[in-house]
């Protein structure tokens, strides 16, 4: 009799995988511990997309699956049953809510623009649609570097004339007009078609070189003089001027951080642009100069100022220093976080910080793989890097982070261009020679979150106890729809049963294949 019920369960719960436009697979030599490596090729005529969710019936739930061996955000339809098929129960409790989600996104760097320009118009349009358009992974954030960073083809600022404290010679550059602004506007238009607004935020990697004690944007160093002196005021005016110039072109920003990875500026031999700020210096600059300057302009008065913009290890100290000063804290809306030390530093400090300062949000603002000097920069089809992304996003979201922003939207086949050869991997890799692009497994890992966890969803309570299986869950603003993202890093399949405390007498029985992800959606 038991065998009959198991057979009935299989037929009742597992349907064929479907996809509106399936992945056009291209296989590669496996690396980094993978057994299989493939990506999805897109060109002017074809690209895979995500099958729309549509209306979910009251007795049903939907899963989107990606796996090392076969799948890329492919849809499976299930039905709830009156019994679990396993003792592995994943309990969901939407009565316990946590942070509100802001969204997900990537960065419109000069390098991303170079690669977009290298493709034909139909292919670049299709690429941007994969991030921002219908049936895409639905990005709502874009990070835009202020002037040059390592992912530029040269070192430049907007005020390269030494001693120009009045910024008479301030000007945007060809990179802005050719590599950023056209694609920002295109992304904005795509998001607007979906009834939303694209949130842009920025940071500078360095002040113009003549403002630093080193005399160069490249390498570490700090601004000349006292924190509230004329160099700090000039840099605040430089920031404000950047926003005003973009505003004239019809582009407004949502947020800013005072400096990218400010602790990197301690190294005088740093390989690319950097500038040092300590937590105390950032506090004093915000309260004495930067905050009042930005709040004093109609263009910048509503900008979200985010402190830190550095690795996990700076928290909670960085927040404690700035938020304990009410004159600084009143200008600050949130905190920014990078991922480059996450393999070595626990997320506990992040959870402690978000819990301690619930009125200040924390946004993860930069991540990429392939950055260690001993590893290959671009690994086509590598699943391990997708797992790294997924696990980090889950850890951050469980720790109170409100969103997660990837680094370059697109790079070339060697992970650039980058003017100091700091090449890395990206979710999409362009191949201008054949006018195609490759969607890496990382793209789909990001999509398991960004395509389904919409802005204003709230994280809810999840209880699970499975080896190398991680999960995080959310509820829609209306309290009805639930979204559960599960990651299985085991080689073997894992079965579990979802039990929603709102209706605890029904179960969603799910098989999570070895080395796979599932995003599971249902309504109450």
Cβ proximity of 491 and 469 under 8 Å: no
**Any idea which residue has 């300590």 for tokens?**
278
Rg over CA atoms, the chain: 23
- Record the tokens describing residue 249, joined without a space: 């072109």
Q: Which residues contact 497 (CB under 8 A, 6 or more apart)?
A: 84, 85, 86, 88, 89, 90, 507, 508, 509, 510
Long-range contacts of 466-475 (CB under 8 A, 24+ apart): 466/88, 466/494, 466/496, 469/494, 469/496, 469/512, 470/390, 470/391, 470/394, 470/395, 471/90, 471/394, 472/394, 472/397, 472/398, 473/92, 474/101, 475/94, 475/97
Other Cβ atoms less than 10 A from the Cβ of 84: the count is 19
Q: Which residues contact 72 (CB under 8 A, 6 or more apart)?
A: 22, 23, 40, 48, 66, 439, 441, 444
Question: Alpha-carbon dihedral of residues 338, 181, 121, 28, nearest 10 degrees?
Answer: -10
Cβ proximity of 65 and 17 under 8 Å: yes
**Is the peptide bond prior to 314 cis by the omega test (within 30 degrees of 0)?**
no
Q: How far apart are CA 172 and CA 86, in angstroms?
A: 60
Of 261, 347, 387, 395, catalytic: 261
- Record the tokens describing residue 437, joined without a space: 């692009």
Question: What is the DSSP secondary structure assignment for residue 260, as one 8-state letter?
Answer: S
Residue 244 falls in the annotated catalytic set:
no
Residue 366 falls in the annotated catalytic set:
yes
Q: How far apart are CA 338 and CA 392, in angstroms?
A: 11
Q: Residue 411: in which H helix or E strand, if any?
A: none
Q: How far apart are CA 57 and CA 60, in angstroms?
A: 5
Cβ proximity of 221 and 213 under 8 Å: yes
Of 282, 366, 387, 513, catalytic: 366
Task: List active site positions.
Answer: 261, 366
């Amino acid at each position: 009799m038991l065998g009959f019920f198991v057979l009935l369960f299989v037929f009742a719960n597992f349907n064929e995988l479907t996809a509106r436009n399936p992945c056009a697979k291209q296989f590669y030599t496996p690396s980094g511990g993978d057994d299989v490596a493939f990506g999805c090729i897109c060109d002017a005529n074809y690209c895979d997309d995500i099958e729309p969710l549509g209306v979910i019936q009251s007795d049903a739930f939907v899963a989107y699956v990606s796996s090392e061996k076969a799948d890329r955000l492919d849809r499976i339809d299930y039905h709830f049953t009156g019994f679990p098929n396993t003792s592995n129960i994943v309990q969901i409790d939407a009565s316990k809510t946590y942070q509100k989600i802001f969204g997900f996104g990537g960065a419109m760097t000069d390098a991303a623009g170079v690669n977009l320009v290298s493709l034909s118009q139909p292919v670049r349009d299709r690429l941007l649609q994969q991030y921002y358009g219908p049936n895409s992974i639905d990005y709502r954030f874009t990070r835009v570097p202020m002037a040059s960073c390592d992912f530029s083809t040269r070192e430049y600022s907007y005020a390269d004339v030494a001693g120009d404290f009045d910024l008479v010679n301030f000007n945007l550059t060809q990179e802005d007009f050719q590599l950023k602004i056209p694609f920002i506007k295109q992304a904005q238009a795509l998001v607007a078609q979906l009834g939303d607004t694209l949130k842009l935020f920025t940071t500078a990697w360095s002040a113009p070189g003549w403002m630093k004690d080193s005399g160069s944007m490249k390498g570490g160093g700090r601004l000349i003089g006292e924190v509230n002196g004329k160099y700090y005021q000039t840099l605040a005016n430089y920031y404000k001027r950047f926003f005003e110039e973009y505003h004239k072109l019809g582009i407004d920003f949502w947020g800013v951080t005072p400096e990218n990875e400010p602790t990197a500026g301690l190294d005088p031999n740093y390989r690319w642009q950097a500038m040092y700020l300590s937590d105390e210096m950032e506090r004093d600059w915000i309260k004495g100069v930067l905050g009042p300057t930005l709040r004093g302009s109609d263009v910048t008065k509503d900008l979200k100022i985010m402190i830190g913009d550095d690795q996990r290890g700076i928290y909670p100290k960085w927040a404690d220093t700035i938020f304990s000063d009410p004159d600084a804290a009143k200008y600050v809306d949130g905190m920014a976080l990078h991922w480059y030390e996450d393999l070595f530093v626990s997320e506990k400090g992040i959870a402690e910080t978000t819990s301690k300062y619930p009125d200040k949000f924390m946004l993860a603002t930069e991540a990429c793989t392939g950055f260690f000097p001993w590893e290959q920069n671009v690994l086509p089809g590598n699943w391990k890097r997708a797992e790294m992304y997924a696990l980090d996003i889950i850890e951050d979201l469980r720790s109170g982070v409100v969103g997660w922003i990837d680094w370059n939207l697109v790079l070339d086949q060697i992970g650039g261009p980058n003017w100091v050869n700091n090449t890395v991997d990206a979710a999409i890799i362009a191949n201008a020679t054949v006018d195609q692009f490759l969607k890496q497994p990382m793209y789909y890992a990001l999509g398991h979150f960004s395509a389904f966890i919409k802005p204003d969803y709230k994280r809810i309570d999840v209880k699970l106890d499975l080896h190398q299986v991680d999960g995080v869950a959310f509820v829609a603003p209306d309290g009805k729809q639930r979204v559960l993202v599960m990651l299985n890093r085991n080689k073997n399949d894992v079965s579990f049963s979802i039990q929603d405390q709102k209706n605890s007498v029904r179960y969603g029985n799910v098989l999570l294949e070895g080395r796979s992800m599932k995003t599971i959606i249902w309504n109450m």
